[in-house]
Amino acid sequence: HCNDLTHTADNSHYDLSSLIGKRLIGKEANEAKYDYVCTVCGNNGEGCGDDQCKDPANDGACQRWKDEYGDRAECLGRFYDTVGQDENTPSESGAVVPLAAGKGVVLWYMNGDPYGYPTVYRKTKITINCDSTTEGSNPSAGYNDGGMYYFTTFSSKYACTGGSVNPGGISGGSVVLIIVSVSLVLYCVIGIIVMKFVKHAEGAEIVPNWALWS
């Protein structure tokens, strides 16, 4: 679904094809020791954490750090390829949420490692904002106390409406125009050579089909 998303309110359409599988590594501003590793529309495949994401290795978001016990990690959620329409209330099976007005896309990764009592399962909100000037900005990351979720945020032109349609390339119409232009140039050059050296034409008559153009 990441390559075909439409917001039902205003039909903002997104194609994240160029971002699928992109690895994001963000630092928490207030806790620099933490690395947040996420994969856009996919899983890291590292088996991060202790419980939920070990078998199979389907950790879509992971928090990594080092302390006196060595390398540590917690699974912060798994990717589910389901489409939602509310960026603030994901279902337990996660959500890929297109935003209205061409603002971007939100990905919810759910069912990470448990903590606390009663048990709460870690989750991550990845916000990809539309920015037509960048392939992908450096992600920021951290924890939202009020919403009780982890987050990663970055910007990309591919999160603008239609952003991954023919990314970085040229349109079909441009290709046709280039072919026609090159063909016309070759026609003129080859025609002039034939008229000049084979038919020994002089002056304006060396132009192919001069009578037609004059």
Q: For residue 209, what pLDDT is reported?
A: 74
Cβ contacts of 93 within 8 Å, gap of 6 or more: 80, 82, 110
Give the 3-state secondary structure of residue 198. Answer: helix
Each residue's pLDDT expressed in tens, for the chain with a length of 214 residues: 788 888 888 888 898 999 999 999 888 777 778 889 999 998 888 778 766 677 666 788 999 888 888 888 889 988 888 888 888 877 777 788 888 888 999 999 988 888 887 888 899 999 999 999 999 998 999 888 877 899 999 999 999 986 544 334 455 566 777 888 888 888 778 877 877 777 777 777 777 776 666 6
Q: For residue 40, what pLDDT is reported?
A: 93
Q: For residue 163, what pLDDT is reported?
A: 53
Where would I find the beta strands (DSSP E) of 68-123?
70-77, 95-98, 104-109, 114-115, 120-121
Q: For residue 169, what pLDDT is reported?
A: 47
Q: For residue 127, what pLDDT is reported?
A: 94
C-beta atoms surrounding 189 within 10 Å: 11
Q: For residue 153, what pLDDT is reported?
A: 93
Q: For residue 81, what pLDDT is reported?
A: 82
CA atoms within 13 A on the CB side of 213: 8
Q: For residue 212, what pLDDT is reported?
A: 65
pTM score above 0.75 = no
Q: For residue 167, what pLDDT is reported?
A: 38
Q: For residue 152, what pLDDT is reported?
A: 92
Q: For residue 117, what pLDDT is reported?
A: 77
